[in-house]
Every structure is written in structure tokens, then in C-alpha cells.
Amino acid sequence: MGEPGKHRILMVSDFFYPNFGGVENHIYYLSQCLIKEGHKVVVMTHAYQNRSGVRYMTNGLKVYYVPWKPFLMQNTLPTFFGTLPITRTILIRENISLVHGHQAFSTLCHEALMHARTMGYKVVFTDHSLYGFADVGSIHMNKVLQFTLADVTQAICVSHTSKENTVLRSGLRPEKVYVIPNAVDTAMFKPAPERLNRDEIVIVVLSRLVYRKGADLLVEVIPEVCRLHPNVRFIVGGDGPKRVRLEEMREKHSLQDRVDMLGAVPHAKVRSVLITGHIFLNSSLTEAFCIAILEAASCGLLTVSTRVGGVPEVLPDDMVVLAAPDPTTMVHAITRAIHMLPRIDPQDMHNRMKKLYSWPDVARRTEIVYNRALKCSNPPLLDRLSRYLTCGTWAGKIFCIVMIVDFLLWRLLQLWQPDKDVEVVPDIQLQNSQHEETPFGSSTEESL
């Protein structure tokens, strides 16, 4: 059963390695720190191309790549009940005590949390994004989130702005939502050994080139900054549908020698790109918490960012210049940042980031949420159904039907294969590194 006071946690999300992003990094680093604290952590995600089955990562982190292929934007096809058998098997096999789902956009997360609550497990949900209230996609996502959080034990948001957004979207009581920010691996993101010459100012952009990340804003900002500051050069890393617009802008204004387009940058090479610049530019139109800003600040770059979402909460005022998501104000902010550069000490900035953000601190705070979640009582099915009825006149009734069907299917599975017939896997401490994998390598252990 494990050591007293230690948890056995199942992390669930559609977003995990080998895919790279903020959610993927968060799950990986949080899991590693929890393992070092003595907890057992298992990750459940969908299969990626030929990566299916069970893999071991650093420090024995076990990952179940369940044989579900992504349907849209790395999300699995919603099935409601299709994932119940495999979720139940993993929960029993690994002797899980708590389920932690990540990201509101993850189908696998929502389904796993639903099944876990049906089986009486405590569940925690972390929301990593901000959503609106008016467009069709946001209305649909908010209703799904309301369904999931109606019976969640505790919830975590990565910023105070994100907490306010989640509470408004889901109707969750604010006292059940905790704010735990992301962090950065300062050992990986260190400044350049020697300070860069300021004869040429290099501005770095590392982002997915999509509308939400402000790629259209870059198209207007870059030519104007190049016109005002002849000694400025841009490095743009990232790929996406808006890359064509940036290429066209570069051709139109003859900026081929001043705007370098790197394309997609592997996470392992992000630092090597960052340390070539003086300023990091973030043009996001919505952001719950921008990990890229932390990575840039840890490398000693002064940040210029749009004042949106939880971004104003991320860095102290002397480490970031904020501006409205408008081309004119962004250009003024970049000009102000260029004048601030002589006062910036990259090593001092890196040392401050070490004190401000660390994954061990995030893990300790998350552990407190786990402890509180496990102390909560488990209400009977009828009490839980009453919570779903508050989700809307018609939606509430539909949610109740879904939960009743899920409960009946779970009972049928118990009759067909009782819990005692599911083999519980022993806890194995891996000694040989050849059986482990890092985010950048793989090693198969067994197949599902």
C-alpha cells in the first residue's frame, strides 16, 4: 500500500511527451519532484504514432500510452464510456489513491476524472488556460468544464486571473480552487557565459505562430521596430499557420537580413536560441501563465509582453515591460526595453528567478492540495447527481444520465472482472538507466 502519508497519483492528460508545450512540461517536472518526495506517480496519456504501451522515464516515472489515437489538436475522440475499462484497470493495477487531471481541452482528462469519481476516487483538476464566454467553442468548453468540476474534489489554477476565469466558467466554489503557478528549471535555463555586445540588439520570439499567440500582431510590430531602430534584429522560432504571413511581411519590407525564421525549435534547443538575444518578445492575446517568459528571464533576457490574462503576475516590474495588445503600444514598449538594457544584469536576473520559481516548491504546494482532497468525504451517488442537476435545465439532466450509465457500466465491469482478479503490479525501483527514458528518448517496457 506504500508508506504512510505518501500518495499514489495518476496524472491524466492528452498532452504529454513526446509532444512539447507548457502542460507537458508541467506534468513532467511536477511528477519528477513528487517522486523525489517519495510519492508514486503514474502518467496516463494517449498513444503517439508508434509509441503505445507502457514506458519508463527518468526516476522510474511510468507512462501508460493507451491505444487511443489523437482525433483533433492532440485530443482523443470523445467516447464518454470507451475509456472506462482501461482507466479502471490502471487505477487498480497501480493501486492509485488520487487522480490528477490536466487541461480543460483534454478529452482524456475529462473522461478519466468522470470514471474516477464514479469509482470513488478523489480527483484534482488543474486548469492551464483561459477561455472566453461568447464564442461557440468557449460556450461548449465551459459547459464541459462545468460538468467535470461539478464533482471534482479540488481544483488548481496557475494564476489568480486563471482562478477567476475558471470559477466564472464552471460555477465552482472559490474556496475549492487553489493558485499554484508554474515554474522553470533554472539549472537548464542559464544565461550565456559572457554578456552579449549591445551594438546589435537581438529580439527573440519563441511561440506557436497562431492567432491566439499574437502572430498577426508581430506582422505589424516587427517592420515598425526595424524602421525605428536600425541596430535591431529579430529571431523568430516556432511554426504554425501564421508563419506564411510572417514570411510575406519579411519579403514585403525586405527584412531578410534582419528577421531570421528558425521554424519549429525543439525544447532541448530553446536555451541555445534564447541566449543569443537581449529581449524576449511575447505577443500572446490570451495567456493563463506564460512559461516561456520564465525561461527567457532565467536566461537573463528582458521581457516585453502583452498585458493579458495572468502575464502581469509572472515577473516583477523591473524584469518585464507590459503593453496593451496593440501594435503602437507594443512598439513603444520595445523602445523602452531597449533603453533599459544597460541596467539589466543577466546573472542577477537568473539568481532572482531561482528564488521566485522552483518545481520543488510547486510540488510541495500541490502535495498540500492532495492532502486536503484525500480528507474530503465521498458522497453517495444520489448526492452527487444533485450537483449535476444544477448545471442547467437540460444539460443537468443529460449529465445525470451520463453519470448513471457510467455507474451501471462500472458495476457490470466489477461483475465481469472483480477487482481482486486484476493483477496489482509491484513497485519497481529502476536501477539500470537503459530501461528509462527522458523526454528526448524512449524505451519500451511492456504493451497494453
Element spanning 91, H or E: helix 84-93
Sign for the pseudo-dihedral over CA of 409, 414, 417, 421: positive
CA distance 39 to 388: 32
CA distance 192 to 272: 9
The pLDDT, as a whole number, for residue 442 is 44
The pLDDT, as a whole number, for residue 433 is 44
Could you tell me which CATH class the domain 8-183+360-421 is placed in? alpha beta
CA distance 155 to 178: 6
The set of cell numbers assigned to 105 is: 481541452
The pLDDT, as a whole number, for residue 120 is 94
CA distance 271 to 175: 38
Beta-strand pair 53-56/62-66 = antiparallel
Whether 157 contacts 126, CB under 8 Å:
yes
Whether 122 contacts 90, CB under 8 Å:
no
Please give the chain's pLDDT, 448 residues, in tens: 456 678 999 999 999 988 888 899 999 999 999 999 999 999 999 999 889 999 999 999 999 999 988 887 788 888 889 999 999 999 999 999 999 999 988 999 999 999 999 999 999 999 998 887 777 777 878 888 888 888 899 999 999 999 999 999 888 899 999 999 999 999 999 999 998 998 999 999 999 899 989 999 999 999 999 999 999 999 999 999 999 999 999 999 999 999 999 998 988 899 999 999 999 999 999 999 989 999 999 999 999 999 999 999 999 999 999 999 999 999 999 999 999 999 999 999 999 999 999 999 999 999 999 999 999 988 888 888 988 888 888 888 999 999 999 999 999 999 999 999 999 998 876 554 444 455 544 444 443 3
The pLDDT, as a whole number, for residue 447 is 38
CA distance 222 to 217: 9
**Cβ–Cβ contacts within 10 Å for residue 317, how many?**
8
CA distance 178 to 365: 9
**Amino acid present at 350:** H
Looking at domain 201-356, its CATH architecture is 3-Layer(aba) Sandwich (3.40)
Closest CA to 417 of 122, 197, 92: 92
Cα–Cα distances in angstroms (integers) from residue 320 to residues 81, 129, 279, 306, 405, in the given order: 46, 21, 10, 10, 51
The pLDDT, as a whole number, for residue 435 is 45
CA distance 80 to 99: 17
**Amino acid present at 105:** F
Do 8-183+360-421 and 201-356 share a fold?
yes
Closest CA to 157 of 132, 129, 122, 184: 129
CA distance 64 to 447: 9
The pLDDT, as a whole number, for residue 357 is 95
Give domain limits for the chain. Answer: 8-183+360-421, 201-356
Query: Which residues in 398-433 are b (16+ Cβ under 10 Å) and which e?
Result: ebbeebeebbebbeebeeeeeeeeeeeeeeeebeee
Beta-strand pair 444-446/53-56 = antiparallel
The pLDDT, as a whole number, for residue 446 is 45
This prediction has a pTM of 0.88
Whether 282 contacts 305, CB under 8 Å:
yes
Cα–Cα distances in angstroms (integers) from residue 324 to residues 130, 131, 330, 441, in the given order: 17, 19, 7, 41
The set of cell numbers assigned to 448 is: 497494453
